[in-house]
Amino acid sequence: MTDIDIVVHGATGFVGRLTAHYLATVPDVRVALSGRDAAKLEAVRDELGKDWEIITVDAHDAADMSRLAARTSVVISCVGPYTRLGEQLVRACAQAGTDYVDLCGEALFIRDMIDKYHAVAHGSGARIVSSCGFDSVPSDMGVFALHRYAGEPFREVTMVVEELKGGISGGTIDSMRAVSAQARTDREKARLLHNPYTLSPVPSAEPRIDGLEKDFDVTKLADGRWSGPFFMSMFNTRIVRRSNSLREHAYGSFRYHERWATGRGLWGRIRAYGLAGITAGLFWVVQQKFAQRWIPSPGEGPSEMDRKKGRFTVRHVGFTESGRRVTCTISALGDPGYEVTAMMLSQAALTLLHNPGGSGGLLTPATALRAPYVDRLEAGGMSFTLEGDGS
pLDDT of residue 80: 81
- Residue 238: closest CA among 173, 175, 193: 193
Q: Please state, in angstroms and rounded to a whole number, the distance separating the CA atoms of residues 136 and 94.
A: 21
Q: Let me know if 144 is exposed, middle or buried by CB neighbors in 10 A (0-12, 13-18, 19+).
A: buried
Peptide bond just before 136 cis, omega within 30 deg: yes
3-state per-residue secondary structure call for 280-343: HHHHHHCCCHHHHHHCCCCCCCCCHHHHHCCEEEEEEEEEECCCCEEEEEEEEECCCCCHHHHH
- For every residue of 228-286, DSSP letters joined together read EE-TTHHHHHHHHHHHHHHTTTTT-S-EEEEEEEEESHHHHHHHHHHHHHHHHHHHHHT
Buried b (16+ CB within 10 A) or exposed e, 41-52: beebbeebeeeb
Beta strands 219-220; 226-229: pairing state: antiparallel
What would the pLDDT profile of 37-56 be if each residue is shown by its tens digit? 999 999 999 999 999 999 99
Nearest by Cα to 375 from 108, 93, 201, 141: 141
Residues near 208 by beta carbon (within 8 Å), at least 6 away in sequence: none
Distance CA 66, CA 91 (A): 8
Global pTM reads: 0.94
Q: Would you state the pLDDT for residue 283?
A: 66
pLDDT of 295 reads 57
Length reported for the chain: 391
Give the span between the Cα atoms of 162 and 87, in whole angstroms. Answer: 35
146-156 pLDDT per residue, tens: 999 999 999 99
Q: Check the CA dihedral 118-120-125-128 and report its sign.
A: negative
Residues of the chain with pLDDT under 70: 1, 168-177, 179-180, 183, 283-300, 390-391
